[in-house]
Structure 1
Amino acid sequence: MHKKILVIGATGKTGRCLVPMLAGNTVTARPASRKKLTGHVLFDWASPETWQPAVEGINAVYLVGPDLVEDPSGQVTAFLDSARQAGVARVVGLSSLGVSFPHEPPMSGRSKVESAIMGSGLEWTILRPSGFYQNFSEGFFAPGLAAGRVQTATGSGKAAFIDATDIAAVAAVALTQPGHTGQIYALTGPQAFSISEGVEVFARSTGRTISYGALTEDEFRSMMLGFGLPAAFAEVVVRDQLAIRNGFATEVSEVVEQVIGRPPISFAQFVDSVVNVSL
């Protein structure tokens, strides 16, 4: 049977890796994004009228929720209802390892999104990745690396960050192969390291002087609000930072290798692949 898979967030860190992985004789990817791009279907979480056309004829959905929204569970629930009515059978949802941290409130927005996925009536798989390596090259830490100083509230705490490529590879398997329904996968890289250690790897690879600065919780919160993050979402980021600082993100999972048949990409491999990026 030929499968058609909707990839929400197709221009994002995991989505842009996933789309080419799904290309094959038995699978067609339908990339979805908020912008009108060639080969993409229009999909905007803030515009429900874009949802139904996006899921027409679709068998499975890779679901990435709206950006910078603390609790998008209402939107996700409504979309999944629409998808089920359109005949979609399977959903693979991108969540966060932070849902499992002790700091997480029991009714947090992202835990409610997971509940919506599990209660959707579709075959479901939930991916809970740690922080992305790509946050160093193009995300949260990138401006600091470019400026020569990275500041966080994680202190000396470590986390087993992961490459977005590996998250996409697990998603591709869960979307196209049997045996993954009803699974919640904690996804990490092969080794936990501190932000300071990650900065040192980049500094050595680029030959630049890049320092790390530890912030207090309040200092970090003020920095996030200064960046323009909505207050509720800023608290999610603060919560995850404190979880790392307190040692709750160090566990290394074997799920990536179990699902895709190879070890996860190391941070050193990732840095080697992006050293040509201007930092």
Structure 2
Amino acid sequence: MTNLIKDIEQVLVIGATGKTGSRVCKRLSKLLSPEKVKPASLHSDICFDWQNSDTWHTALNGVSHVYLTYFPDLALPIATEHIRAFCKLALQQEVQHVTLLSGRGEPAAQECEDILIHSGLNWTVVRASWFSQNFSDGLFKSFIESGQIRLPVNQVKEPFVDIDDIAEVVVQSMVDIKHRNTLYEVTGPELLTFADIASQFTKVLGKPVYFQSITPDEFESGMSAAHVPKEVTDLLLFLFTEVLDGRNEYITDGIEQALGRKAKSFSAFIESNRACF
């Protein structure tokens, strides 16, 4: 193992207020120092806007490493153009390493991975399954509070992954050379349907949580009533109806490859996040 902490000048964390970015910032600040972590997002002191490339230049100033997340999702058609331009700029500004958060089963996301891999930059790709924390500090939290998960899916299975595992992989990719130029496909340790998810919440929390399969139209109406922006609803419908079609119904050992331990289970996630529910 070769430790690279001494080579880190400053780490730019794009999406620092997001689910993974906030956790990466916290871990890096503790491991390095707060001064070596540069949080950037639409809502940070350092603004980073994917729709305004002028903000990219400011964010990259003095940076040696980057944690790259794309909002709202790499599945968007414009993402490839943005990732290509960002990688070119990062190379010009002599960034040493970029770790990209990607998604499983999304052709556009895999195209973005290829752009980074062939950019001339040192890289790590973390290709993740659906986040367990979508149920604790994401859009699905209200489902658990109401006791009913209502989504346009049937019996498809997904190996939900704990974001804390993802954040740990990202941090290690910055400080250990063995993770350079490596793709980790990370999942949880078990395949679960959304009905299984409801059952696990019922068991661990001791309160009934049910799953109901609904139509895309019913889902869209519910999101509209909850004042969820249409572009977010459209993206979710794409993920539910196309990506969650069974193509990702397998488990990987990416967490174990990167960290030398097993991935956290969904029931362990619920237990450790009881206060959220």
In structure 2, the residue corresponding to 1:31 is in which secondary structure? Answer: strand
Unaligned runs of 5+ in 2: 1-5
After TM superposition, the structure 1 = structure 2 runs for residues 209-220 of structure 1, keeping only pairs within 5 Å, are 209-216=208-215, 219-220=218-219
Runs of 4+ in 1 over 6 A off after TM superposition: none
Distance apart, 1:221 and its partner CA:
5.9
Residues 205 and 232 (structure 1 numbering): CA distance in 2 closer, same or farther, change over 3 Å? closer
Letter of the aligned partner of 1:109 in structure 2? A
Question: 1:137 & 1:156 partners in 2: Cα distance?
Answer: 22
Partner of 1:74: 81
Structure number having the greater helix percentage:
2
Question: 1:277 & 1:110 partners in 2: Cα distance?
Answer: 30
- Deviation string 1:69-122 (CA, Å, 9 cap, x unpaired) is 7121112221221111111021111111123xxxxxxxx432332232123221
Question: 2:155 & 2:48 partners in 1: Cα distance?
Answer: 40
Partner of 2:195: 196
Moved more, 118-127 or 218-227: 218-227
1:138 paired with 2:137, answer: yes
Question: 1:167 & 1:111 partners in 2: Cα distance?
Answer: 18
1:30 paired with 2:38, answer: yes
After TM superposition, the structure 1 = structure 2 runs for residues 61-210 of structure 1, keeping only pairs within 5 Å, are 61-67=66-72, 70-71=76-77, 72-99=79-106, 108-210=107-209
Partner of 1:53: 58
In structure 2, the residue corresponding to 1:14 is in which secondary structure? Answer: helix
- Deviation string 1:173-192 (CA, Å, 9 cap, x unpaired) is 11221123332211011111
Question: 1:240 & 1:205 partners in 2: Cα distance?
Answer: 31
State the TM-score, normalizing by the size of structure 2.
0.85
Unaligned runs of 5+ in 1: 100-107
Query: How many residue pairs align between the two structures?
Result: 264
Moved more, 62-71 or 9-18: 62-71
CA RMSD of aligned residues (A): 2.4
Distance apart, 1:217 and its partner CA:
5.2
Partner of 2:3: none
Residues 266 and 238 (structure 1 numbering): CA distance in 2 closer, same or farther, change over 3 Å? closer
Question: 1:25 & 1:159 partners in 2: Cα distance?
Answer: 35
State the TM-score, normalizing by the size of structure 1.
0.85
Question: 2:166 & 2:72 partners in 1: Cα distance?
Answer: 18
Asked if the contact 2:132–2:269 (Cα under 8 Å) also holds between the matched residues in 1, the reply is: yes
Partner of 2:23: 17
In structure 1, the residue corresponding to 2:177 is in which secondary structure? Answer: coil
